[in-house]
A = this chain, B = another copy of it.
Amino acid sequence: MKKIVTMGEIMMRLSPKNNLRFNQASSFDVIYGGGEANVAVSLSNYGNDVTFLTKLPKHEIGDCAIEFLRTKNVNTNSIARGGERLGIYFLEHGVSMRPSKVVYDRAHSSIASATSSDFDFDKIFEGKEWFHFTGITPALSPLSVKLTTEAVKKAKSNGLTVSVDLNYRKKLWTPEEAQKAMIPLMEYVDVCIGNEEDAEKVLGLKPDGSDIDKGKLSIDGYKALLKTLKDKYNFTHATCSLRESLSASDNGWSGLLYDGKEFFHSKHYDIRIVDRVGGGDAFASGFIHGLITKNDSRYAIEFAAAASALKHTIFGDFNLVSISEVEALMGGDASGRVQR
């Protein structure tokens, strides 16, 4: 059980039921989620002591986001209250060749206007071991770049291990903006996590020979990329998930890791998708958990890949799986047989 802190935005997510399109919906399922919150929940779910930092408006809807986190035993005591609004995103679940669609309504959110005065970082990081952030947080606003930078430096100076999920969001910023903000942060990062396209957009490094939209991925290209990443920024570990987008309903999935000595390519999973959102966060949190509990590269990448494969079968942003479920899948039981 490790003491971990993550920081970022948690949003309300509104999605039509039963694969309806937005304009067919007379009601929306409502949950709350966001990259770093999802990682917090996964890690808490595995039994770690996790604190999530964000800023939320001081009204009943802000309260709802906190209750949602609390259910999963995430420490919400350091969440700042105030600001204008809770970010919202509308999600239309895709099927087959119809892609999922996200409409963001997240501008002017409380966390986008938060500053380091909202958080007593030294106190928050005291006694903690790990800090995780993603590329989404600095993308929120210029203030958020500052806040993230401050947090990362404070985490480092307090002796925490720092991980980043590069997580490029094209509706939030351009590659140029992303690189300007993110590259300087890399010097504080120990563990770098990404997906098959993040490194190019966020750090300007591109794998060769893959056509992501066609679902074809070149493992060799990604190996080279991870090595470059690791070497350039002196990470202890560089890892990425590899998604083959066959359709909105079916994906191939695996994980790749370079730990400075060896490459590890996890088992490959063919996934029937229930909810694709949060898959990357489940990978990141699975990897962190795998690393901190066993400090074994093979275990960590297999745990990450299996955990995040499972995530795709679960509604919502959060990866509500137990260690034993992940390990059963890592161990090879993908048969889906009823347990009774």
Contact = CB atoms under 8 A, between A and B. Distances in A.
Interface of A: 14, 17-31, 59-61, 63-64, 67-68, 70-73, 84-86, 88-90, 92, 94-105, 107-108, 169-171, 212-215, 245-250, 269-274, 276-277, 309-310, 312-316, 320-321, 325, 329, 332-340
Contacts of A320: 21, 23-24
A169 B320 CA distance: 27
B23 A30 contact: no
Nearest to A94: B336
A335 B214 contact: yes
A95 B311 CA distance: 11
A277 to B, nearest CB: 7
Contacts of A335: 99, 212-215, 245-247
A100 B336 contact: yes
Given A94-B313, A108-B107, A314-B98, A245 B337 contact: yes
Given A70-B71, A85-B107, A86-B105, A336 B169 contact: no
Contacts of A107: 84-85, 108
Among A171, A320, A329, residue most surrounded by chain B Cβ atoms (within 10 Å): A320
A96 B271 contact: yes
Contacts of A310: 97-98
Contact of A213 (B14, B108, B333): B333
Among A214, A215, A276, A339, residue most surrounded by chain B Cβ atoms (within 10 Å): A339
Given A14-B28, A27-B29, A340 B70 contact: no
